[in-house]
């Protein structure tokens, strides 16, 4: 259970960072924006790991001997990518109007990593549907909070959140590899 909650928290950091960037724009309608961010990011963060799990579950018979190494490699790559992105500029600088199409694009972009991380769910002794629900719910809540954090503080937390999420994913990868 702890691993699933850590995974949910770490995967939500991309959405949190983007939400901070969106919230920092201080556009009108921040309550609606917070709701949109929570729903868009939460739904996609729940669906993508399920797709990864189902794909990984189908491949597990073929790669079961190497599944721990594959999960470790995927989490290491995703974590390293998040750390890299956290150190570099965010993608929200040029955004002047937040539309549903933009939110959909951002939701897909922030959840692609979750699809690869979903493969690691095949190795956890936990119901994958409950895990995906928890990942989506966690992302929803954290994204809503991100809008308000960005509104209050600007973007100074944006990169730090991604770096933290990346470090947690790498740690989970090592946990899967060695334990």
Q: Is residue 19 over pLDDT 70?
A: yes
- 35-94: per-residue pLDDT in tens? 999 999 999 999 999 998 998 777 766 777 787 888 888 889 888 888 887 787 655 556
Backbone phi, psi, residue 65, to 5°: -65, -30
- 116-158: per-residue pLDDT in tens? 888 888 878 889 999 999 999 999 999 999 999 999 887 777 7
Give the pLDDT score at 46. 96
The span from the CA of 39 to the CA of 41, in Å, is 6
- Give the orientation angle of helix 67-87 with respect to helix 30-63, to 10 degrees: 150
46 and 132 in contact (C-beta within 8 Å)? yes
Give the pLDDT score at 92. 53
The rounded mean pLDDT for the chain is 86
Where do the structural domains in the chain lie, given as residue ranges?
2-178
In percent, how much of the chain has pLDDT > 70? 92
**Chain center to CA of 45:** 6
52 and 118 in contact (C-beta within 8 Å)? yes
């Amino acid at each position: 259970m702890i691993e699933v909650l850590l995974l949910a928290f770490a995967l939500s950091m991309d959405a949190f960072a983007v939400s901070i960037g969106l919230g920092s724009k201080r556009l009108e309608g921040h309550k609606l924006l917070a709701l949109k961010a929570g729903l868009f990011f939460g739904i996609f963060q729940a669906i993508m790991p399920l797709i990864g799990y189902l794909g990984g579950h189908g491949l597990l018979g073929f790669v079961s001997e190497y599944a721990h190494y594959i999960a470790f490699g995927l989490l290491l790559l995703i974590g390293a990518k998040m750390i890299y992105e956290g150190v570099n500029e965010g993608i929200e600088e040029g955004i002047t109007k937040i539309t549903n199409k933009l939110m959909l694009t951002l939701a897909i972009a922030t959840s692609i990593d979750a699809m690869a991380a979903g493969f690691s769910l095949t190795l956890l002794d936990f119901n994958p549907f409950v895990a995906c629900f928890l990942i989506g719910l966690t992302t929803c809540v954290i994204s809503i909070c991100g809008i308000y954090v960005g509104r209050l503080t600007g973007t100074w937390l944006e990169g730090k959140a991604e770096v933290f999420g990346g470090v947690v994913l790498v740690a989970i990868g090592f946990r899967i590899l060695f334990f």
